[in-house]
Amino acid sequence: MLYREALNRALDELMVKDENIVILGEDVGLYGGSYRVSEGLVEKYGEKRVIDTPIAELSIVGNAVGMAIGGLRPVAEIMTANFSLLAFDQIINHMSKFHYMSNGKIKLPMVVRFPQGVSRQLAAQHSESYEQMLSAVPGLRVVATSDVNHAYHALKKAILLDDPVVFIEHELLYNKKGEVDFNDTQDPFKARVVKEGKDITIVSYLKILDDVTASVAAIEKELNCSCEVIDLCSLNPIDYETLAKSIKKTSRLVMVEEDHKTGGFGSQIVSWAAEELFYSLDAPPLRIAGEDVPIPYNRKLELASIPTVDSITKKVIEWGHKNGL
Amino acid sequence: MEKLIAGDIYYLMYLGRAFEYKAKEHYMTGDISGFLHLDIGQEALSVAAMKAFEKGDVFTTYREHIMAIARGMEPKYVMAELFGKASGVSGGKGGSMHLFDPSHFFYGGDAIVGGQIPNAVGCAYARKYQGNLEGVMVVFGDGATNGGAFFESLNIAATHKLPILFLCENNEYAIGTNIKRAAPFKEQYKKAEPYMLTKAIDGMKADEVYSAVKEAQSLIEKGHGPIFIEAYTCRFEGHSMSDANLYRSSQEMKHCKARDPLPYFKEKMLNSFNFSQEEVEALEKKANECVDEAVDFAANAKEPPLEALYEHVFYEELNNVVS
């Protein structure tokens, strides 16, 4: 199954059971969704439940908030993360605050799906990531999904929860292949250890996690060590428990993210580790992140702006050598 | 309008004004803090619109104390919210600008100008989907009609023929900026005209507001789709307590106060609805007592406990739901 098919299946399985679930977004219906996530759903559930909206992101999220107040369970799609900036008033001032401001009287069971990240030469206005801003908003659950199995389970949970969830997908993952384990009982909103190890904890999420995984063999060989790789899965709240358990075991932390380094999400993980686990660490944490530049169009420049398998491998090995590995 | 409803409207208008003056007084003493937007002068619109739109759902702005009370929230719980107390309608976490009560289908209390309009449109979509055409009423000021949220909402509501009443309270001022300096014309219904049925009314006359909103709701209920009503009003106070109202001349304020909705409707009470002077005075006395009780209640109510800080950030704790 493909990542996009897993998301589609999660939507389909829940929509057939609960007619309160509706999808709204640009081209989600007749067109089938820009990344084909909602393909076939309008034929099955009709235009009242799979709603093609105007190009008006503020209203896509703002209407979803109102639908949730009115008793529906909307799943809104933002075509690409950059466009969500037009909806940030609704996401931050409305979606994340009504439950708290109303002292729990208002519930917003809603999901906003966010394809994001550096894809292939889409340039600066179609390539950004916003988890650093979104995860800093109290009251907003932020989930980032990196593989087929997790995508299926996490989207189902996001839809079933009575909390507002921003559900981050990566544009390069839609055609990623994998299997769904229908018996998976792990909480999809908790961090997952995707590879066990004992010397270095490498924390990542979304698409760049694949590059981390691909770089591990070379790192382990060169440093003669073993790496534990953790997929964060939930960026708010953060599953510090799973991270602490791993870092206490390995005594070393590497944080890898695709987004710009300054103010990036990984800075929260590293600052937390510095505050809470300083005496458990045998080396200064290493942060590998994108360059502090708008994403350029040219492929060579684009690749130079984000971590790659080669750059991750090289940086971790250099850091390892410097720090006694 | 029936006599009973007229009496109710006058009582709530009078109560609303007394409530606002008490709130002002307690803002001065420091019992109430933050931003406090008084609705004095606009009671006819706030009360009559709520009484006319008795079914359905309501979304409104931060100048909503009187609307909340007219919608059915008890004044003491509204005052307690202004005082930041645990028994306030939002547990002391919302304050004056964020009064929520889903049991009365009243969803704030939104302090982002125009931000509530897309929420109301979404709710109207949900209601139509559920086969309920009682309608959603969204109230906003003239200032909101210059923003993108407003135009997006007109477009979507008209495209889907949603059961929604856009009620624009045009008091001519966006804080201190006159509408003539922010829009090419004074009448904001012109912006809605290409999309839906529009109507302009005198928002200082409770009987006119009541019949226009009642008629709109009845049309919406029959499947008419969205309707826009613009009500011309005048607020007697500044935008909020921190606004000294220096941008309006004394002459303008004199014109404004000549339109006072209370004496206007009192005259209707006596001459059109056959209330006696004594009956009207009894309603006024009852309203004053209710406001005094509300202040006593709020002053003596408890503060929220510190633990409340962390409550209701999320509805579900992680792990509560198994997918």
Residues A165 and A202 in one domain: no
Q: What is the distance in angstroms between the Cα of B43 and the nearest Cα belonging to chain A?
A: 24
pLDDT band at B195; cut points 50, 70, 90: very high
Q: Is residue A182 part of a domain?
A: no
pLDDT at residue B322 greater than cutoff 70 = no
**Is residue A187 in some structural domain?**
no
The pLDDT, as a whole number, for residue B317 is 58
Residues written for chain B: 323
- Number of A–B residue contacts, CB under 8 Å: 159
- Does A133 map to a domain? yes
Let me know whether A277 and A134 are in one domain.
no
Looking at the structure, tell me whether residues A111 and A152 fall in a common domain. Answer: yes
Give the separation between CA B238 and CA B246, rounded to whole angstroms.
8
Q: How many CB atoms lie within 10 A of CB B175?
A: 12
* Mean pLDDT across chain A: 97
Cα–Cα distance list, B297 to A84, A171, A322, B80, B103 (Å): 44, 56, 67, 7, 21
Residue of chain A minimizing CA distance to B95: A101
Are the beta carbons of A66 and B313 separated by less than 8 Å? no
Structural domain that includes position A214? 192-322
Span B228-253, average pLDDT: 95
Pick from A56, A70, A139: CB nearest B126 = A70
Domains and CATH numbers, chain B: 3-302 (3.40.50.970)
Q: What whole-number distance in Å separates Cα of residue A244 and Cα of residue A167?
A: 24
Q: Does A99 touch chain B (CB under 8 A)?
A: yes
Residue A249 lies in a domain: yes
Residue pair B149/B184 in contact (Cβ under 8 Å)? The answer is: no
Same structural domain, A139 and A213: no
Say if residue A227 is in the same domain as residue A144: no
B122–A157: do the CB atoms touch at under 8 Å?
A: no
- A316 domain-assigned: yes
Query: Does any CB of chain B come closer than 8 Å to the CB of residue A21?
Result: no
- A89 and A139 assigned to the same domain: yes
B107 vs A: CB within 8 A: yes
Q: What is the pLDDT of residue B323?
A: 38
Under an 8 A CB cutoff, do B118 and A59 touch? yes
For residue A263, being part of any structural domain is answered with yes
Q: How far is Cα B153 from Cα B122, in angstroms, rounded to an integer?
A: 9
The number of domains in chain A is 2
| Residue B222 Cα, gap to closest chain A Cα (Å) | 20
> Model ipTM?
0.95
**For position A111, which CATH number holds?**
3.40.50.970
A18 and A144 in one domain? yes
- Whether residue A98 lies within 8 A of chain B, CB to CB, comes out as yes
Which one-letter DSSP state was computed for residue A226? Answer: -
**Least CB–CB distance from B314: residue in A56, A62, A141:** A141
Domain shared by A230 and A294, yes or no: yes
Residues A161 and A198 in one domain: no
Q: Are residues A10 and A154 in the same domain?
A: yes
What mean pLDDT is predicted for residues B22-47?
97
Q: Looking at residue A259, which CATH number applies to its domain?
A: 3.40.50.920
Closest CA to B225 of B93, B133, B131: B133
Q: Do A88 and A215 have their domain in common?
A: no
Residue ending a domain, choose from A135, A170, A205: A170
Residues A153 and A199 in one domain: no
Minimum-distance CB partner of A63 among B107, B118, B318: B118
* Active site (catalytic) residues of A: 57, 126
Is the residue at A85 inside a domain? yes
- pLDDT at residue A68 tops 60: yes
pTM for the whole thing?
Answer: 0.96
Asked whether residue A175 is domain-assigned, the answer is no
pLDDT tens per residue across span A187-242: 999 999 999 999 999 999 999 999 999 999 999 999 999 999 999 999 999 999 99
CB contact under 8 Å between A98 and B108, yes or no, is yes
Look at residues A170, A202, A224 and tell me which one is the last residue of a structural domain: A170
Contact B122 A189 (CB under 8 A): no
Q: Give the per-residue pLDDT at A257.
A: 98
Model confidence at B316: pLDDT above 90: no
